[in-house]
Amino acid sequence: MATGKPVLVIGSLNMDLVARCEHLPRTGQSVFGTDFFTAPGGKGANQAVAAARLGARVTMAGCVGNDQFGHELVVGLQRDGVRCDFVRTVTRPTGTALITIDGQGANTIVVISGANTACDETLVDSALTGADAPGILLLQHEIPGEANAHAIRAARAAGWIIVLNPAPALPVAPALLPLIDVIAPNETEAEALTGSNDPREAARRLLKQGARAALITLGEEGALYCDADRALHCPAIAVQAVDTTAAGDAYLGALAASLAEGHGVTDSLGFAGAAAGLAVTRLGAQPSLGTREEVTAFIEQSGGRHSPVIAGASPADETGPNSAMSQGRP
């Protein structure tokens, strides 16, 4: 039975249409594919499933269309134990993502938002008040910015721990950054948000702009976590990548599940890295996400959890009480 604080995900639900090919096409080029399949996805739904399979008490809030894709997505979430009381059916078609994957596991993704654009403040309020207690809130940039902004303000006032995955890389209002406990872009998104392609410098700029903590995922290089107190490098487990589509979602779902259980940042980052490492060895978004037993076995097979190591002092210009940890948060 799931225990710990609740995890609430407010975000996108998409059906992924996936084509595999040896090489990603260049502009104007046609290539032959080797395989095609559909799989449930959307960053919000992926993160919800990732956390639920690892034992968290997860609620999903978002919108789907009154169509076959929408029905399949909700049934799949419920099968994984995700509470779907706040998944609303709307007249717009269910969101879709067109994904191509090359022989090395790299991908390109085109998202058609569809029903996800109907996620609004009313749905956000219903989801937050419908939770039995404040816990971990996961947000992404695949629903309207107004809904996310309202969720951040309302959740902060209610005592939630807020993790924002700014994907795709849209600007974050300066007034919102200090309200977010962890902002978690990948390298590309961090550069788009800060103008720096150096992860440590990007983290410094995010902290200087008011972020409580920055977690920058670095693919096969692991991740960099920084707050006003410290900087941690989180090494990745070496694997042969098959599909990197949901690696970041696996990471953040596992991070939320671990934090919800009461574990600290260091242990949670190590666990999240293992969950992401397992995910990239499998095809598909949600089909790639491991259970608690699978992630535990993967950690054992890889020689134990790869704990974060100190990467020097925090890159923040000044340390102070704005960090999540110094507030008694994650």
* Cα distances (angstroms) measured from residue 132 to each of 83, 128, 259: 12, 9, 17
User: Residue 144: how many CB atoms within 10 A of its CB?
Assistant: 16
Please provide the size of the chain in residues. 330
Is residue 79 left, alpha or beta, with left meaning phi > 0 and alpha meaning psi from -120 to 50?
Answer: alpha
Strand order in the sheet with 107-112: 33-41, 14-21, 95-101, 107-112
Written as one string, the DSSP assignment of 2-55 is: --SSEEEEE---EEEEEEEESSPPPTT----EEEEEEEEE-HHHHHHHHHHHTT
CA atoms within 13 A on the CB side of 288: 31
* Catalytic position from the list 181, 198, 249, 267: 249
Query: Tokens in use for 94?
Result: 């269910």
- Residue 109 pairs with which residues in a beta bridge? 99
CA-CA distance, 228 to 244, in Å (whole number)?
31
User: 202-209: which pairs have CB atoms within 8 A and are 24 or more residues apart?
Assistant: 203/231, 203/315, 204/315, 204/316, 204/317, 206/177, 207/314, 207/315, 207/316, 207/317, 208/316, 208/317, 209/174, 209/177
CB 206 within 8 A of CB 198: no
Residue 249 appears among annotated catalytic residues: yes
CA-CA distance, 37 to 309, in Å (whole number)?
39
Give me the residue label for tokens 């700014």: 166
| Torsion angle in degrees (nearest 10) through CA of 160, 165, 168, 171 | 60
Query: Tokens in use for 183?
Result: 């902002």
Residues involved in catalysis: 249
